[in-house]
């Protein structure tokens, strides 16, 4: 992941936000979506993506669906009920963090 | 451009050659790698072979042989992405196990001072032994079924590891090897017996959970 130190702590929230917006997504689709939204500024490597997805699944925040697509199995991730609630909390935390950073980095523009 | 079944098979063959033979991860990686190859073939107009090598070059780090002797032992060598997943699940299991064991042992000793609780424990000891015995038999049956299963997942590997650790002690407990409830004095030996019973009880539960997760995956695959 580009600028990994800055983005690393927010990866789970980014994934959960994307799943909240798109319903269900598969691994490669998540990487491409992040790349497209950030116009190539942020790329999630497979080494960061899968541990994050598996951790969220183990915590019961994501559920898995398997479908056969184009001659292969595809594993879709979607938010569980607990995951949907947790996404709201984590997004609120992230927004607070961004606001605080904004105040510190550029006090004049702070809301 | 969509890949043909033989091209998909080739990706699978390469992953298996790199010891990635855990079906829950393998299916996911085949799809990811195939999607990347398709993208390169469509956008960069690469041939399948060129795209294949280009994509696998990026996956080299995740596929390099790795091990975690602390959590998984010396015998398990597998691609880094597999070891990372297994280590995470095992670490989580052990931390929960130690935490659970610690709290329950403390509670046990806190309550063990009252005669009512002691007499309650004496009465439930035969039940506990039977539960351990029944669970051990059931898990052994599942172990045999799993041995014959065609699918191998990260959950089944962790089940096997917990199984071999828990079963011998659980059989001892179920045969009355740790009759700590009947002992009158509280000493270090008795403390160890209580902790061991609770800890291995947790391992039985944990093994069952891995087994359940394995069959959940098998069920999802069979539905497709």
The interface residues of chain B toward chain A in range 133-152, judged by CB-CB distance below 8 A, are none
Residue B85 is predicted with a pLDDT of 93
pLDDT in tens, A44-86: 998 899 999 999 999 999 999 999 998 899 999 999 999 999 9
ipTM computed for the complex: 0.88
Exposure string of A63-93, with b = 16+ CB inside 10 Å and e = fewer, is ebebeeeeebbbbbbbbeeebeebbeebeee
For residue B47, the tally of other CB atoms under 10 A from its CB is 9
Q: Is B66 helix (H, G, I), strand (E, B) or coil?
A: strand
Q: What is the pTM of this model?
A: 0.86
Query: A11, exposed or middle or buried, with CB in 10 Å at 0-12, 13-18, 19+?
Result: buried
Domains of chain A: 4-109 (1.10.10.10)
State the nearest Cα–Cα gap between A57 and chain B, in angstroms: 11
The residue in chain A having the minimum alpha-carbon distance to the alpha carbon of residue B27 is A73
Q: Which of B31, B38, B83 should we substitute to test contact with A (largest number of A Cβ atoms within 10 Å)?
A: B31
B140-182 residue pLDDT tens: 898 899 888 889 999 999 998 888 878 887 888 787 776 655 5
> Does B209 reach chain A within 8 Å, measured CB to CB?
no
**A91: pLDDT strictly greater than 80:** yes
Q: Does B223 touch chain A (CB under 8 A)?
A: yes
Average pLDDT over residues B59-68: 94
> B34 and chain A: CB distance < 8 Å anywhere?
yes
pLDDT of the residue at B150: 85
Spans of all domains in chain B = 5-63, 73-223
- Enumerate the residues of chain B whose CB falls inside 8 A of the CB of residue A58: 88-89, 92
Each residue's pLDDT tens digit, B99-115: 888 888 888 777 766 77
- Residue B165 host element (H or E): helix B154-174
CA distance B18 to B150: 19
Q: Is the CB of B85 less than 8 angstroms away from the CB of A66?
A: no
Whether A41 and chain B come into contact, CB under 8 Å, resolves to no
Nearest chain A residue to B81 by CA: give it. A47
Per the prediction, chain B carries an average pLDDT of 86
The neighbour count for residue B99, using CB atoms within 10 Å, is 11
- What is the four-CA torsion angle of A65, A66, A68, A72, rounded to 10 degrees? 130
Helix H, strand E, coil C: the string for A28-82 is HHHHHHHHHHCCCCCCCCHHHHHHHHHHHHHCCCEEEEEEEECCEEEEEEEECHH
For B25-49, what is the mean pLDDT?
A: 95
Which residue in the set A67, A71, A74 is minimally distant from B3, CB to CB? A71
**pLDDT: is A7 or B31 the higher one?**
B31
Residues sharing a CB contact under 8 Å with residue B169, sequence separation 6 or more, in sequence order: B196, B200
Tens-digit pLDDT profile for residues B89-100: 999 988 988 888
Q: Does pLDDT of A24 surpass 80?
A: yes
| Residue A111 pLDDT greater than 70, yes or no | no
CA distance A44 to B123: 57
pLDDT value for B120: 74
- By DSSP bridging, strand A62-69 and strand A72-79 are antiparallel
Say if B2 is an interface residue toward chain A (CB within 8 Å): yes
């Amino acid at each position: 992941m580009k600028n990994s130190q800055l983005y690393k702590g927010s990866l789970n929230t980014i994934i959960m936000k994307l799943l909240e917006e798109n319903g269900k997504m598969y691994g490669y689709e998540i990487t491409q979506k992040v790349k497209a939204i950030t116009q190539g500024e942020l790329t999630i490597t497979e080494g960061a993506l899968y541990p994050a997805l598996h951790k969220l699944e183990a915590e019961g925040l994501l559920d898995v669906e398997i479908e056969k697509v184009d001659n292969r199995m595809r594993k879709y991730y979607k938010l569980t009920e607990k995951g949907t609630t947790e996404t709201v909390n984590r997004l609120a935390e992230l927004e607070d963090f961004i606001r605080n950073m904004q105040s510190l980095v550029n006090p004049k523009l702070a809301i | 451009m969509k890949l043909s079944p033989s091209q998909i098979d080739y990706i699978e063959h390469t992953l298996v050659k790199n010891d990635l033979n855990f079906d829950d991860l393998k299916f996911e990686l085949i799809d990811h790698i195939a999607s990347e190859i398709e993208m390169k073939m469509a956008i960069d107009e690469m041939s399948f072979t060129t795209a294949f090598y280009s994509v696998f070059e990026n996956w080299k780090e995740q596929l390099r042989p790795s091990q975690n002797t602390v959590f998984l032992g010396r015998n398990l060598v597998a691609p880094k992405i597999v070891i990372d997943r297994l280590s995470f699940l095992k670490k989580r299991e052990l931390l929960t196990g130690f935490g659970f064991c610690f709290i329950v042992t403390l509670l046990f000793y806190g309550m063990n001072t009252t005669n009512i609780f002691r007499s309650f424990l004496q009465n439930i000891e035969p039940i506990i032994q039977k539960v351990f015995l029944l669970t051990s038999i059931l898990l052994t049956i599942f172990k045999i079924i799993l041995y014959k299963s065609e699918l191998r997942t990260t959950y089944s590997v962790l089940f096997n590891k917990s199984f071999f650790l828990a079963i011998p002690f659980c059989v001892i407990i179920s045969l009355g090897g740790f009759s700590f409830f009947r002992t009158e004095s509280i000493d270090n030996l008795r403390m160890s017996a209580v902790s061991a019973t609770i800890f291995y009880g947790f391992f039985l539960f944990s093994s069952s959970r891995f087994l359940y997760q394995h069959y959940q995956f098998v069920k999802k695959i069979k539905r497709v």
